[in-house]
Amino acid sequence: MLNDLKIKSLKPREELYRVADHSGLCIEIRPSGSKFWRYRYRFLTKAKMLTIGQYPEITLAYARLKTMEYREQLAKGVDPISHQKKERLEAIKANNGTFLLVANEFMNSRKTQQSKEWEQRRSSYFEKDVYPLIGNKPIHEIDSIDIKNVLDSTMARIKKSGRGTGEVKGIFVRQIIGEVMEYAIITKRISIDPTYILRSYIKQPEVTHARPLTESEKRELMSKLNTYGGSTSTRNAIKVATYTWLRSIEIRRGKNCLGILASISIDYPIP
């Protein structure tokens, strides 16, 4: 068994090592000279280890007391590590909340004001890119480096998929994280938006516009559209776009637009 005199005499080595006390409690001596209390146990046949704290801030007596608490939890079928995480999350929730909790609260607060598309697009990027990295982190602990890592990860994912270089999506992810941070400021969880300093981090890629069609290409397009074998709404939407200069999103979002386009006939005069 350990005592304070023996603990103080333990010197650092080139590699980390541990000295046992009893009942699974041991002290870990790191190459830096720091000493940490660790509790070793098995749960459902799996070996696990939990950090109690650093010596001498955490005394030998207190470390032994915590060990007894963990042994009582095991006797009740409770994993001490899982129990510790649960208590931490509950404390966070009672204080400021995790990013995931605040983001869900923000999304729910805007449901009646925004479209289904607005909600689905944000939810998709939160789940793919944001929550895996910072979802369970207390929102007041998230800094600009955390968010930069999210943006880098998003752009890397887009590049890997072959659907562009990722800058546009990265900018959007920064914006939606910023929306949550703004909500957190309004609800008095944080005082500073960590996305603000990153507003110029990603450069908008230069847009390369498609060249205009030649007169012969226009005639060919009009001719082919009149005999296009796809859906009527798609064919008519393209025709409306060429006649009116409306953007595709304006046609798609027009009230009952696609339903109307699917039920009418538009014929092109071929010059």
User: In this structure, what CATH number is given to the domain that contains residue 158?
Assistant: 1.10.150.130
Q: Which residues contact 191 (CB under 8 A, 6 or more apart)?
A: 185
The helix (H) or strand (E) run that includes residue 29 is: strand 25-29
In a domain, 245, yes or no: yes
Same domain, 227 and 184: no
Same domain, residue pair 106 and 146: yes
Q: Please tell me whether residues 14 and 66 are part of one structural domain.
A: yes
Q: How many domains does one find in the chain?
A: 3
| Structural domain containing residue 61 | 4-78
Quick: pLDDT tens for 243-255. 777 777 777 776 5
Within a domain: 52: yes
Instruction: Compute CA 113 distance to the chain's CA centroid, rounded to the nearest angstrom.
Output: 23
190 and 235, same domain (yes or no) = no
| Region of residue 47 (phi > 0: left; psi between -120 and 50: alpha; otherwise: beta) | beta
Q: Is residue 138 part of a domain?
A: yes
Determine contact, residues 101/132, Cβ cutoff 8 Å: no
pLDDT values of the chain reduced to their tens digit, one per residue, 271 residues: 899 999 999 999 999 999 999 999 999 999 999 999 999 999 999 999 999 999 999 999 999 999 999 999 999 999 999 998 888 777 666 667 899 999 999 999 998 888 888 999 999 999 999 999 999 998 989 999 999 999 999 999 999 998 888 999 999 999 999 999 999 999 988 889 999 999 999 988 777 777 888 889 888 888 888 788 888 778 778 877 777 777 777 777 765 555 555 555 555 454 4
| pLDDT for 120 | 93
Sign of CA dihedral 225, 226, 232, 238: positive
Q: What angle do CA 127, 141, 103 make, to 5 degrees?
A: 35
This prediction has a pTM of: 0.53
149-179 pLDDT tens trace: 999 999 999 999 988 889 999 999 999 999 9
Tokens of 43: 């749960």
Domain membership of residue 121 (yes or no) is yes
Contact 240, 246 (CB under 8 A): yes
